[in-house]
C-alpha cells in the first residue's frame, strides 16, 4: 500500500506542514515560535484565528506577526473568501515566506542514499538518489557520499550550497542527535563518530543528524498521518527494525537521546545474533537479514548468500505467494515476533495510532490478519479498543523528508528563540 504525503491546505491553496494542533503549553517556548508554527501548519491563516488557536490576545499576535514579517519569515497573502467580509479593506491572511530559507534532508542507508531539498514552507524543490554497496563504510566514504549527493540535488534544483540554510541527515543505528554523534551504525565501520560536525565541515553548512526511524516519525508529524495527533508510534521494517515515538507533538528520545529502540528489545534469551552484536533482539527475527537467514536454513538457500538481499527476499516472497509452505512459515514466524513487539508498544505507550512503514511492508504476511489477532491476545485486556494500525509502504523519499523537517525545525527554532536574531533580520 502506498500513501502519499499529505499536507493541510489553506484557503488560498497553500499547503501547511507541521502539527495541526498546538502543543501543551510550554513556558520555555517563546510566543513568536508558537505563532510561527501555527502559520506554518495552517498554510494560510488570519491573525484572529491564530489568536483564537493559541488563546492569546489579538494585539499580541499583531505585534509579533509584524516582527516576523519585518524579519522576512512570514508574509501577508490573499485571505480565504470566508474571512473576507467584503467591506472596507480586503482581509489578509498570513503564510510562511517560502523563499526565506531552503534546507536539504538526506537518508543515508545500507543500500542507497536519498536526498530532498525543500523550501521554508516545506514544499519539495528537488530530490535525488544514489546507490551504494552494502556493508559498513569508512567515515571518509560516507562523507564523500553525502557531499556527492548534496551537489547532485543542488544541481537539479539550480541552487548552490550557499543557498541552503542547513542539512538534516538520517542514519540507521544509535544516534545522539543533540551531540551530533553516531554511537553505532550498520553503515559505519567505526563507532562514536561525530558525524554532524564532520559533515558540517565537509559541506560548509550547519548539519543536524538523527536516527532514521525517528525521522520517519518526524515526516509523519510534519507531512503525514501524525499531523492531527498528539501522540503516535511509527515502526519501520527495512534493513533493520526501528521505531519513532511522538509524545505531545514531539519526538521522544529518552534521557540519553537513544531511547525507543524497539528493534533491540529482547525477545529471546541467548537468541539469534543481531547486527548490533547482542543476541535475542527483535530485529534479529524480523528484519531483512533475519528472513534471509531463515531462508538459507529452511530452504537450503545457503548457495544464494552472494545474491543481493533484495533479490533473495523477492524470491522468498514469490515462493510464499505461490504456496510454498516453508516460505510462508518464514514470514509467519517473523510476523509473530512483530506481533510481540507491537503488543509491547501498546502496553508501554498506549499510542493513539501505530504506523507500520518501510520497504518490508510490501510483504503482507508480516501483518496478516492472524498476526494482528495474535497481537490482540497479547495486549492488556482493558475492555477498550486497541489503537488503529496503518500500513505506509512508501519509499526512501519519506525518510529524507523527515530529515528535511529536522533541518527546518533547527533553522526556525534558531531564528525564533532569540530576540537578538529576530531584531537583526
Name which of 176, 173, 197 is nearest 187 in CA terms: 173
**CATH class label, 229-394:** alpha beta
Q: Is 53 annotated as catalytic?
A: no
pLDDT of residue 29: 77
The pLDDT of residue 47 is 95
Cα 196 to Cα 153, 173, 174, distances in angstroms: 19, 15, 14
Domain with CATH 1.10.10.10 in the chain: 8-99
Q: State the CB neighbour count (10 A cutoff) for residue 215.
A: 34
* Residue ranges in the chain modelled with pLDDT below 50: 1-8, 11, 84-85, 420-425
How many angstroms separate the Cα of 341 from the Cα of each of 39, 230, 309? 38, 22, 24
Residue 277: Cβ within 10 Å count: 8
Residue-wise burial string across 54-89, b where 16 or more C-beta atoms lie within 10 A, e elsewhere: beeeeeebeebbebbeebebbbebbbbeebbeeeee
Cell numbers placing 378: 497479547
Spatial distance between the Cα atoms of 425 and 422, rounded to a whole number of angstroms: 5
**Which whole-number Å values give the CA distances from 422 to 78, 101, 166, 351, 416, in the listed order?**
25, 15, 18, 37, 7
In the CATH hierarchy, which fold is given to the domain comprising 8-99? Answer: Arc Repressor Mutant, subunit A (1.10.10)
Choose the catalytic residue: 53, 110, 210, 212: 212
Strands 181-184 and 174-176: what pairing? antiparallel
pTM (predicted TM-score):
0.88
Spell out where 315-362 has E strands.
354-357
Distances (CA, A) of 27 to 118, 246, 269, 274, 419: 30, 20, 45, 43, 16
Which CATH number does the domain 101-217+398-419 belong to among 3.90.78.10, 3.30.70.260, 3.30.420.40, 3.40.50.1360? Answer: 3.30.420.40
What is the pLDDT, as a whole number, of residue 113?
Answer: 93
Mean pLDDT of the chain: 88
pLDDT confidence of residue 201: 98
With beta carbons less than 8 A apart as the criterion, state whether 168 and 205 touch: no
- Render pLDDT for 30-85 as a digit per residue (tens, 0 to 9): 899 999 999 999 999 999 999 999 999 999 999 999 999 999 999 999 875 555 44
Looking at the chain, which residues constitute the CATH 3.30.420.40 domain(s)?
101-217+398-419, 229-394
- Tell me the three cell numbers of residue 150: 548534496
Amino acid at each position: 500500500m502506498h500513501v502519499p504525503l499529505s499536507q493541510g491546505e489553506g484557503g488560498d491553496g497553500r499547503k501547511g506542514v507541521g502539527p495541526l494542533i498546538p502543543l501543551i503549553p510550554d513556558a520555555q517556548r517563546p510566543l513568536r515560535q508558537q505563532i510561527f508554527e501555527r502559520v506554518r501548519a495552517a498554510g494560510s491563516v488570519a491573525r484572529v484565528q491564530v489568536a483564537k488557536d493559541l488563546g492569546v490576545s489579538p494585539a499580541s499576535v499583531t505585534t509579533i506577526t509584524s516582527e516576523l514579517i519585518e524579519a522576512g519569515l512570514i508574509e501577508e497573502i490573499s485571505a480565504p473568501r470566508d474571512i473576507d467580509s467584503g467591506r472596507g479593506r480586503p482581509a489578509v491572511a498570513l503564510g510562511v515566506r517560502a523563499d526565506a530559507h531552503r534546507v536539504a534532508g538526506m537518508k543515508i542507508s545500507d543500500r542507497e542514499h536519498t536526498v530532498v531539498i525543500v523550501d521554508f514552507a516545506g514544499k519539495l524543490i528537488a530530490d535525488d538518489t544514489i546507490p551504494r554497496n552494502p556493508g559498513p563504510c569508512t567515515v571518509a566514504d560516507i562523507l564523500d557520499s553525502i557531499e556527492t549527493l548534496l551537489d547532485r540535488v543542488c544541481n537539479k534544483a539550480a541552487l548552490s550550497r550557499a543557498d541552503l540554510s542547513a542539512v538534516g541527515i538520517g542514519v540507521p543505528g544509535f544516534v545522539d542527535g543533540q551531540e551530533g554523534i553516531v554511537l553505532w551504525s550498520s553503515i559505519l565501520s567505526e563507532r562514536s563518530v561525530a558525524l554532524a560536525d564532520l559533515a558540517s565541515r565537509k559541506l560548509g553548512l550547519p548539519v543536524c543528524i538523527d536516527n532514521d526511524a525517528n525521522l520517519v516519525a518526524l515526516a509523519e508529524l510534519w507531512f503525514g498521518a501524525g499531523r492531527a495527533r498528539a501522540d503516535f508510534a511509527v515502526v519501520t521494517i527495512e534493513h533493520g527494525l526501528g521505531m519513532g515515538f511522538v509524545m505531545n507533538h514531539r519526538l521522544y528520545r529518552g534521557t540519553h537521546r537513544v531511547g525507543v529502540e524497539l528493534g533491540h528489545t529482547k525477545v529471546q534469551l541467548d537468541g539469534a545474533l543481531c547486527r548490533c552484536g547482542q543476541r535475542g533482539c527483535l530485529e534479529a527475527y524480523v528484519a531483512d537479514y533475519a528472513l534471509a537467514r531463515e531462508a538459507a536454513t529452511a530452504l537450503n538457500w545457503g548457495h544464494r548468500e552472494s545474491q543481493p538481499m533484495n533479490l533473495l527476499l523477492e524470491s522468498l516472497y514469490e515462493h510464499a505467494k505461490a504456496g510454498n509452505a516453508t516460505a510462508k512459515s518464514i514470514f509467519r514466524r517473523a510476523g509473530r515476533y512483530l506481533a510481540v513487539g507491537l503488543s509491547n508498544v501498546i502496553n508501554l505507550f498506549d499510542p493513539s495510532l501505530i504506523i507500520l512503514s518501510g520497504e518490508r511492508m510490501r510483504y503482507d504476511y508480516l501483518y496478516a490478519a492472524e498476526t494482528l489477532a495474535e497481537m490482540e491476545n497479547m495486549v492488556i485486556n482493558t475492555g477498550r479498543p486497541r489503537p488503529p494500525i496503518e500500513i505506509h509502504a512508501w519509499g526512501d523519499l519519506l525518510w529524507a523528508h523527515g530529515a528535511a523537517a529536522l533541518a527546518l525545525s533547527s533553522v526556525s527554532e534558531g531564528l525564533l528563540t532569540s530576540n537578538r536574531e529576530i531584531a537583526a533580520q
